Structure 1
Amino acid sequence: MQFALLISVLVALLLSAFLLLTHVQSFFTIKTQEILQTSALTNQQIFKSLPERITTKDTIVTTEGDKQQKLFTNYHGAWTKVFSQIETHHQKIKKTALIGSTFDQKSPNLYLANTNSPLVIVGDTRLEGNSYLPKQGVKAGNISGNYYQGSSLYYGRVIESEATLPKVDQQWISYLERLSNGSLLNEEHSISLKKELKHTFYKQGQNISSPSTIILGDEDIAGNITIQSAIQIIVHSTAKLEGVILIAPSIIIKDNVKGNLQAIATKKITVGKGCYLSYPSALILFDQNKIKNTTEGTTSQNKEPDFTISKNTLIEGSVVYLKKQKDTQNRIKTHLKTELGTEIIGEVYCEGNIDFQGIVRGSVYTRQFIANQSGSIYLNHIYNGKILNNPIPNYAGLPFINSKNSVAKWLY
């Protein structure tokens, strides 16, 4: 009798355990589905914001039944940062991403402003994809006995360009101007520079600011952090930077720096040899110098570039030179120089003159090319420069107006 009672109790316990396990499994299945659905809704909210790409000063909150949605967008260097949150059934999912303009079949690989002067290509130059050129077109030339080596002048198609470059978003220009004018230098919530700093993109950004030069040597800094100096920032190869924004009048990136960063300067950017800046990185020189009435001669102002990228450096992202005051008179000043052996996967946007000798896998937009060779200056010449198709299929870059947008990177 006791044995039968024991068996009955054991059977009852097993049945109860089985029912409890079934209930728990069902509960977790439902919760998992809720999390997956909420996560999908969070992604959808970001994707729905792509066509407009507007920045909001405040978080937009909407409520539908038991579902609350939050959306916040603002500029983050060369890209737009979107924060999305969905809360439903006591589940809260947050996502944040960088978005930028995408390319289509008509997007330029080369856009040279129409200054009524043909493009002259020399040496191992190669042009692929869509080349937007002045009505005078492109022709082969030579520099010091070095002739164009290609079998065709271009490998793609040629379209007539306009007198001005494709426009980027004016709100983005205003954002860059505020940053470069020191809008973060007097922030009340600035933090001190430490050897190691990590900060998630799901929270409000942290700022490090100084009225003097900032030298980044053995620091390990990652996340939603902006570093601004009123004078200069110097980055050494021993520094580890991931997702950081640097702002200063002058920024020097020493040889062999590796990382992921965005640099915004107003006077000078120098990138050393053997550097690797992974996607999405950006180097932006927003030149606010007043135009001086100098004669076009051999002055140091005309000879020394404002923005230099040295050989054997690879940059994945955007390289940008902007001028606050448009100057069409100083035709021989080199504003941006990419040395032979440099490679940029992404886009180069230059509102001045570029001495282009490296490789760009993506797009080049410029007012004028310039070649400084053998002691002479050649206008609208490309010497050994290559503009090739972008190998990144869904590349998202600078905020051009009237452009489609895509996610460049999901943040953490």
Structure 2
Amino acid sequence: MQFALLISVLVALLLSAFLLLTHVQSFFTIKTQEVLQTSALTNQQIFKSLPERITTKDTIVTTEGDKQQKLFTNYHGAWTKVFSQIETHHQKIKKTALIGSTFDQKSPNLYLANTNSPLVIVGDTRLEGNSYLPKQGVKAGNISGNYYQGSSLYYGRVIESEATLPKVDQQWISYLERLSNGSLLNEEHSISLKKELKHTFYKQGQNISSPSTIILGDEDIAGNITIQSAIQIIVHSTAKLEGVILIAPNIIIKDNVRGNLQAIATKKITVGKGCYLSYPSALILFDQNRIKNTTEGTTSQDKEPDFTISKNTLIEGSVVYLKKQKDTQNRIKTHLKTELGTEIIGEVYCEGNIDFQGIVRGSVYTRQFIANQSGSIYLNHIYNGKILNNPIPNYAGLPFINSKNSVAKWLY
């Protein structure tokens, strides 16, 4: 009798354990499905925002039944940062991403503004993809006895360009101007520079600011952090930077710097040799220097490029030169120079003159090319420069007007 009772109790316990296990598995299956569905909805909210790319100062909150949605967008350097949150059945999922303009079949690999002057290519120059050129087209030339070496003038198709470059979003220009004018220098919540700083993109950004020069030597800084100096920022190869934004009138990136960063300057950017800035990085010179009158003398400093990228440096992302004051008279000033051996995977956008000798795998937009060779200046010449197709699938870059958008990077 007692044995039968023991067996009954054991059977009951086993059945109870089985029922409890089944219930727990069912519960976790439901919760897992809820998490996956909420995560998918969070992604969908970001994807739905792509066509408009509207920046807002406030978080947009909408409620549908037991589901609450939050969406916040603002500029983050060269890209737009989108924060999405879905909360339902006590499940809260957050996602943050950088978005930018995508390429299509009509997007330029080269866009040279129509200044009624042909493009002249010399040496090992190569043009692939869509070349938007002045109505005078492209022709082969020579510099100091060096002739064009290619079998064809271009490897793609040629389309006539307009007198102005494709427009970028004016709201983005206003955002850059606010940053350049020191909008963050007087932030009450500015933090001190430390050897190690990490800050998630899911929270409001942190700011480090100083009225004097900031030197980044052995610091390890990552995340949603902005560093701004009223004078100058110098980055050494021993610094570890991941996802940060640098803002200063002058920015110097020393030789062999490696990392992922965005730099915004108003006077000068110098990038040393052997650097590697991974995607999505951006270097932006928003030139606010006063334009000299033609009657004023030209100093040796005026002849130096405002923005220089040195040999054997690789940049994955955007290289941008913008002018606050449009100047069409200074035709021989070099504003942006990429030395022989440099490589940019992404895009170059220059509202001035570019001395282009490196490789761009993506797109080049410029008002005019300029070649400083053998003591002479050659207008609208490319000497040994190569413009090739972008190897990054679904590359997302600068905020062009009326462009399609996609995700450049998911943030953490």
TM-score range, shorter chain: over 0.9
- Aligned equivalents of 2:301 and 2:324: distance in 1? 18
CA positional deviation for 1:302: 4.0
- Aligned equivalents of 1:386 and 1:100: distance in 2? 24
In structure 1, the residue corresponding to 2:116 is in which secondary structure? coil
In structure 1, the residue corresponding to 2:51 is in which secondary structure? coil
- Aligned equivalents of 1:43 and 1:386: distance in 2? 37
| 1:163 has 2:163 as partner | yes
- Aligned equivalents of 2:263 and 2:87: distance in 1? 35
CA positional deviation for 1:300: 1.4
Given that residues 308 and 338 in structure 1 are in contact (C-alpha distance below 8 angstroms), is that contact kept between their aligned partners in structure 2? yes
CA positional deviation for 1:368: 0.2
In structure 1, the residue corresponding to 2:48 is in which secondary structure? helix
- Aligned equivalents of 1:320 and 1:368: distance in 2? 14
Q: Deviations over 1:249-277 (max 9, x none)?
A: 00000000000000000000000000000
Unaligned runs of 5+ in 1: none
CA positional deviation for 1:299: 3.5
Given that residues 128 and 154 in structure 1 are in contact (C-alpha distance below 8 angstroms), is that contact kept between their aligned partners in structure 2? yes
- Aligned equivalents of 2:373 and 2:299: distance in 1? 17
CA positional deviation for 1:301: 3.9
CA positional deviation for 1:297: 8.1
- Aligned equivalents of 1:322 and 1:41: distance in 2? 38
Dislocated runs of 4+, deviation >4 Å: 295-298
- Relative distance call for 1:112 and 1:343 in structure 2 (3 A) is same
CA positional deviation for 1:306: 0.2
- Aligned equivalents of 1:142 and 1:104: distance in 2? 34
CA positional deviation for 1:294: 3.6
Aligned equivalent of 2:14: 14
Given that residues 271 and 309 in structure 1 are in contact (C-alpha distance below 8 angstroms), is that contact kept between their aligned partners in structure 2? yes
Given that residues 302 and 332 in structure 1 are in contact (C-alpha distance below 8 angstroms), is that contact kept between their aligned partners in structure 2? no
In structure 1, the residue corresponding to 2:260 is in which secondary structure? strand
CA positional deviation for 1:3: 1.4
Given that residues 264 and 286 in structure 1 are in contact (C-alpha distance below 8 angstroms), is that contact kept between their aligned partners in structure 2? yes
CA positional deviation for 1:77: 0.1
CA positional deviation for 1:360: 0.1
Q: Deviations over 1:152-173 (max 9, x none)?
A: 0000000000000000000000
CA positional deviation for 1:5: 1.0
- Aligned equivalents of 2:365 and 2:374: distance in 1? 26
RMSD between aligned alpha carbons?
0.9
- Aligned equivalents of 1:298 and 1:71: distance in 2? 51
Aligned equivalent of 2:200: 200
| TM-score, normalising length: structure 2 | 0.99
CA positional deviation for 1:295: 5.6
Q: Deviations over 1:135-182 (max 9, x none)?
A: 000000000000000000000000000000000000000000000000
| TM-score, normalising length: structure 1 | 0.99
- Aligned equivalents of 1:12 and 1:146: distance in 2? 93
- Aligned equivalents of 1:69 and 1:92: distance in 2? 10
- Aligned equivalents of 1:253 and 1:399: distance in 2? 25
Identity of aligned residues (%): 99
Q: Deviations over 1:112-155 (max 9, x none)?
A: 00000000000000000000000000000000000000000000
Given that residues 296 and 330 in structure 1 are in contact (C-alpha distance below 8 angstroms), is that contact kept between their aligned partners in structure 2? no
In structure 2, the residue corresponding to 1:158 is in which secondary structure? strand
In structure 2, the residue corresponding to 1:27 is in which secondary structure? helix
Q: Deviations over 1:75-118 (max 9, x none)?
A: 00000000000000000000000000000000000000000000
CA positional deviation for 1:298: 6.5
Q: Deviations over 1:36-62 (max 9, x none)?
A: 000000000000000000000100000
- Aligned equivalents of 2:300 and 2:109: distance in 1? 32
- Relative distance call for 1:150 and 1:301 in structure 2 (3 A) is same
In structure 2, the residue corresponding to 1:3 is in which secondary structure? helix
Unaligned runs of 5+ in 2: none
Given that residues 296 and 302 in structure 1 are in contact (C-alpha distance below 8 angstroms), is that contact kept between their aligned partners in structure 2? no
- Aligned equivalents of 2:46 and 2:410: distance in 1? 11
Q: Deviations over 1:388-410 (max 9, x none)?
A: 00001100000000000000000
